[in-house]
Amino acid sequence: MPRLITAFSNPLVKRVRSLREKKGRRTERLFLAEGLRILAEAEEAGRLPVYIFFAADSAGHPIVRRLVARVEAAGGEAIETDRDILHKLSGKDNPQAVVGVYEEFATDLAAIDRTSAGLWIVAQSLRDPGNLGTILRTGDATGAGGLILVDDCVDPFSVEAVRASMGALFTQRIALARWPDFVDWLRAGPGELVGTSLKATDDYQAPRYTPPLFLLVGNEAQGLPAEYEAECDRLVKMPMLGKADSLNAAVATAVMAYEVINQWRRAT
Amino acid sequence: MPRLITAFSNPLVKRVRSLREKKGRRTERLFLAEGLRILAEAEEAGRLPVYIFFAADSAGHPIVRRLVARVEAAGGEAIETDRDILHKLSGKDNPQAVVGVYEEFATDLAAIDRTSAGLWIVAQSLRDPGNLGTILRTGDATGAGGLILVDDCVDPFSVEAVRASMGALFTQRIALARWPDFVDWLRAGPGELVGTSLKATDDYQAPRYTPPLFLLVGNEAQGLPAEYEAECDRLVKMPMLGKADSLNAAVATAVMAYEVINQWRRAT
């Protein structure tokens, strides 16, 4: 039976509100996802929120009803509320009708089974939550196993990253690691590390890529540090026909990832 | 000789500040670009600002000196100021050392010479300025002629779009058009209209694309309206191997654009 909350001062509202900041997420080990589409995607991936907030005027929506029932059956809590509270939780002028609060996932590199997928994306010092979410979405579309975040990346559980991932956060494995630990882990098993670099001489369509393939993408402004490039088994570049000399990091990742899976689907 | 401005109440500061809003840009027919990299990119593309604001502590930077000299030689005005004013102009906590104020470009479809490039990108009701800027950047990298914005797209001269374009706004032609006018213009000359759609049956790598090719991308949330898809000469789809069923609009554009130019560079 959903609880009704309409007071801004409610302690749960305050607690959930704190999840918009990294500090709150680290304290609570919880994060926010908004909107029916993303909550349904999470459900399909086997993830239910521990709390689900929904607007009273959407209580009759069949997906809302199903989610509420499943959350309650799983021991979570459903909270009926109003648009003002949802606005406060989401920070958006035009809030989604539902907000879910999820437990953070484990992000240990050691828990990743590299044989479970042919392609893995590795991002270094990625700063933009939109790029991070977009890369997760591309990872889902290209059948990647997950995203390994190296060094100081933006928080994958931030509201903006979850939103940009359009639910792919729930279908992709996520690991956080320092570079030396990632390299140790990588070299302890099979796999090729492929980086993109403006300094590379090989065209990105020239190599025959083989799984497991680890696609390394660098920071938006700086690209990859020289020593990270030196660690790569291959450095490749995409053609740049214009006056500018780079692509958006999420775009470069996607162009590379599609080249890899296009090769693999031609081979079968 | 640069003018010195350090007062928030200065009328020029107020006027330039207004360019952060669409209303101000439409009134003044001017827009903002920030940062040495983007201003240098604009200069290389033959565009100088009518006003250039720079922080006193960066007055000695060789690119700043060159830009200031060229702006003044061209009849523009250079303004030395401080970080507080630059913060006020850019709205960023950590403002760039230079801000340029540029005249808006003509955006008439009739002014576009379709034979000047093989690839043109057409976006319909694009809402996100980051996506718009990223698509401009991809257009530059893939040698596209420009971006045709159909229906109600986000303003390409918005601060966020200019920023995300990383200077490609200055190298790409931009046109704004209503859909019926675009279709009339398109059909009055050579060119194939290719849309991406989840409903398509053709794989995006199957057709042999020929220039001039017009790549049509739909709104981030809705995709293309059915009647717009019906107008396309081809509808194609990218493989989707995951649980989600779509890519970010800027990512899908880039994956398509690279397929097109990859075909063309193999053919030469």
Beta pairing partners, B147: B121, B174
With CB atoms and an 8 Å threshold, state whether A241 touches B261. Answer: yes
Signed CA dihedral, B8, B12, B14, B16: sign only: negative
Mean pLDDT of A71-86: 94
CA separation for the pair A172, A194 (Å, rounded): 20
What are residue A90's phi and psi, to 5 degrees? -95, -20
* Nearest chain B CA: its distance from A159 CA (Å): 17
Quick one: A172 exposed, middle or buried, by C-beta within 10 A (0-12, 13-18, 19+)?
buried
- Kindly state the DSSP code that residue B222 receives in the 8-state scheme: T
CA A254 to chain centre: 14
Q: What is the ipTM of this complex?
A: 0.93
Among residues 239-258 of chain A, which lie with CB inside 8 Å of chain B?
A: 239-244, 246-248, 250-251, 254-255, 258
pLDDT score of A148 more than 90: yes
CA A59 to chain centre: 29
Judging contacts by C-beta atoms under 8 Å, the chain A residues touching residue B248 are 134, 137-138, 164, 250, 254
* Element containing residue B124 per DSSP (H, E): strand B119-124
Cβ of residue B43 closer than 8 Å to a chain A Cβ: no
Judging contacts by C-beta atoms under 8 Å, the chain B residues touching residue A242 are 139-143, 168, 171
Predicted confidence (pLDDT) per residue in A34-74, tens digit: 999 999 999 999 999 999 999 999 999 999 999 999 999 99
- Nearest one of A210, A183, A163, A19 to A102, comparing CA atoms: A19
With CB atoms and an 8 Å threshold, state whether B167 touches A265. Answer: no
Cβ of residue A59 closer than 8 Å to a chain B Cβ: no
With CB atoms and an 8 Å threshold, state whether B141 touches A241. Answer: yes
- Nearest one of B27, B26, B76 to B51, comparing CA atoms: B76
Signed CA dihedral, A242, A248, A252, A254: sign only: negative
The closest CB to that of B251, out of A143, A241, A250, belongs to A250
Across chain A, what does the average pLDDT equal? 94
Task: Please give the pLDDT value at position B124.
Answer: 97
pTM of the model: 0.94
Asked if B33 contacts B102 with a C-beta cutoff of 8 angstroms, the reply is yes
The closest CB to that of A247, out of B141, B239, B241, belongs to B141
DSSP A227-261: HHHHH-SEEEE----SSS----HHHHHHHHHHHHH
* Nearest chain A CA: its distance from B204 CA (Å): 11
pLDDT score of B211 more than 90: yes
E runs forming strands in A59-191: 77-81, 98-103, 119-124, 146-150, 173-177
Task: Please give the pLDDT value at position B170.
Answer: 95
Residue with tokens 């004013």: B85
Among residues 82-141 of chain A, which lie with CB inside 8 Å of chain B?
A: 130, 134, 137-141
- Kindly state the DSSP code that residue A116 receives in the 8-state scheme: G
Specify the length of chain A in residues.
268
Asked if B184 contacts B155 with a C-beta cutoff of 8 angstroms, the reply is no
At residue B67, what is the residue type?
L
Q: Long-range CB contacts (< 8 A, 24+ apart) of A23-28?
A: A25/A104, A25/A155, A25/A157, A25/A158
pLDDT score of A144 more than 80: yes
Percent of chain B with pLDDT over 90: 83
With CB atoms and an 8 Å threshold, state whether A243 touches B134. Answer: no
Strand A119-124 and strand B202-203: pairing?
unpaired
CA separation for the pair B23, B26 (Å, rounded): 5
Which distant-in-sequence residues (6+ apart) come within 8 Å of A194 by Cβ?
A: A207, A209, A213, A214, A215, A216, A232, A233, A234, A235, A236, A256
Cβ of residue B8 closer than 8 Å to a chain A Cβ: no
* Nearest chain B CA: its distance from A223 CA (Å): 15
The residue in chain B having the minimum alpha-carbon distance to the alpha carbon of residue A168 is B244
- Nearest one of B63, B12, B55 to B38, comparing CA atoms: B63
Judging contacts by C-beta atoms under 8 Å, the chain A residues touching residue B140 are 242-244
- Kindly state the DSSP code that residue B143 receives in the 8-state scheme: T
Report residue B122's pLDDT band, with 50, 70 and 90 as the boundaries. Answer: very high
Asked if B220 contacts A137 with a C-beta cutoff of 8 angstroms, the reply is no
Report residue A212's pLDDT band, with 50, 70 and 90 as the boundaries. Answer: very high
CA B150 to chain centre: 14
E runs forming strands in chain A: 3-4, 30-34, 51-55, 77-81, 98-103, 119-124, 146-150, 173-177, 192-196, 202-203, 213-217, 234-237
With CB atoms and an 8 Å threshold, state whether A138 touches B265. Answer: no
Mean pLDDT of A23-41: 94
Predicted confidence (pLDDT) per residue in B32-88, tens digit: 999 999 999 999 999 999 999 999 999 999 999 999 999 999 999 999 999 889 988
CA separation for the pair B89, B85 (Å, rounded): 6
- Nearest one of B22, B49, B45 to B33, comparing CA atoms: B49
Cβ of residue B221 closer than 8 Å to a chain A Cβ: no
Predicted confidence (pLDDT) per residue in B216-264, tens digit: 999 999 999 999 999 999 999 999 999 877 899 999 999 999 999 999 9
DSSP three-state, residue B210: coil
Among residues 175-214 of chain B, which lie with CB inside 8 Å of chain A?
A: 205
Q: Which of B37, B116, B119, B247 to mutate to test the interface with A (most CBs of A within 10 A)?
A: B247
Task: Please give the pLDDT value at position B95.
Answer: 78
The closest CB to that of B44, out of A243, A248, A250, belongs to A243
Quick one: B64 exposed, middle or buried, by C-beta within 10 A (0-12, 13-18, 19+)?
buried
pLDDT score of A4 more than 90: no
Residue with tokens 């032609």: B173
Q: Map out the domains of chain A with their CATH numbers.
A: 3-103 (3.30.1330.30), 109-267 (3.40.1280.10)
Asked if A109 contacts A189 with a C-beta cutoff of 8 angstroms, the reply is no
Judging contacts by C-beta atoms under 8 Å, the chain A residues touching residue B168 are 242-244
Report residue A151's pLDDT band, with 50, 70 and 90 as the boundaries. Answer: very high
At residue B153, what is the residue type?
C
